[in-house]
Chain A
């Protein structure tokens, strides 16, 4: 079956530090890959997505590249801000498109 594994948190960084949150997946076929973000007290929001190998999703300074050879979709940001503090979820969607499989979530805490 499908599964998503992401690094455990919390990840604590100082403002302007470089961020990487690792995500690897197991899936049949060619899933679409997503990063969702959950800010404190809010619902999940789509951060970025990639639908095929070598695609790069980007939004709000965050980037992730769909690497089929390593089955990975690592999230990166060059310079984090306090406002980026949230829980980040990596997810994949199977070919039928009927459900998302989520990783366990990684809490990011950015200190001024």
Chain B
């Protein structure tokens, strides 16, 4: 597609359930990033991929969070045993490669609500 695509756009789940969020980056983009935006707060870095490896996992909030990427394509962010504090917009971004000047392209996000 022309841009970064995320699905679902909205997800409502019950506390304790697992959820999987999907990101389709722009074709050819080797770098992929996941961010979280809680209500009224700034963007929080979660994890980034260069190709299918994740050199920096420092932002993952807990071991309930995991992410994987297939080649230089789709990435999934999985949250196990969801908690109410996981409610947020989860944003994915991609760029041609990792680098200070590389422009990031963002998806529209997945709004996750944990009841």
Question: What residues make up the interface of A, taking CB atoms closer than 8 Å to B?
Answer: 4, 31-32, 36, 41-46, 49, 51, 89, 91, 93-105
Question: What residues make up the interface of B, taking CB atoms closer than 8 Å to A?
Answer: 3-4, 33, 35, 40-45, 48, 50, 55-56, 59, 91, 93, 98-104, 106-109
Q: Are A95 and B100 in contact (CB under 8 A)?
A: yes
Q: Given B48, B91, B98, B99, which contacts A44 in the complex, CB threshold below 8 Å?
A: B91
Q: Are A51 and B91 in contact (CB under 8 A)?
A: no
Task: Kindly provide the distance from the CB of A23 to the nearest chain B CB, expressed in whole angstroms.
Answer: 12
Extra A-B contacts (16), CB below 8 Å, given A31-B100, A96-B100: A4-B42, A36-B106, A42-B108, A43-B3, A43-B107, A44-B93, A51-B100, A89-B43, A98-B48, A98-B56, A99-B56, A99-B59, A100-B45, A101-B45, A102-B42, A103-B42
Can you sample 7 A-B contacts with CB below 8 Å? A41-B108, A42-B108, A43-B108, A44-B104, A89-B43, A99-B56, A99-B59
The residue of chain B having its C-beta at the shortest distance from the C-beta of A94 within the complex is: B100
When distances are taken between beta carbons in the complex, the residues of chain B under 8 Å from A49 are 101
Q: Are B101 and A51 in contact (CB under 8 A)?
A: yes
Assembled-state Cα–Cα distance A4/B44 (Å): 12
Q: Are A97 and B43 in contact (CB under 8 A)?
A: no
Q: Are A32 and B108 in contact (CB under 8 A)?
A: no
Q: Are B45 and A93 in contact (CB under 8 A)?
A: no
Q: Given A4, A32, A46, which contacts B100 in the complex, CB threshold below 8 Å?
A: A32
When distances are taken between beta carbons in the complex, the residues of chain B under 8 Å from A105 are 42-43
The residue of chain A having its C-beta at the shortest distance from the C-beta of B42 within the complex is: A104
Assembled-state Cα–Cα distance A98/B100 (Å): 7
When distances are taken between beta carbons in the complex, the residues of chain B under 8 Å from A31 are 100
Q: Are A43 and B45 in contact (CB under 8 A)?
A: no
Assembled-state Cα–Cα distance A17/B115 (Å): 42
Q: Are A100 and B43 in contact (CB under 8 A)?
A: yes
Q: A89-B43, A104-B41 are in contact. Are A98 and B109 (CB under 8 A)?
A: no
Assembled-state Cα–Cα distance A103/B33 (Å): 17
Task: Kindly provide the distance from the CB of B80 to the nearest chain A CB, expressed in whole angstroms.
Answer: 24
In this complex, which of A44, A49, A93, A101 has the most chain B Cβ atoms within 10 angstroms of its Cβ?
Answer: A44
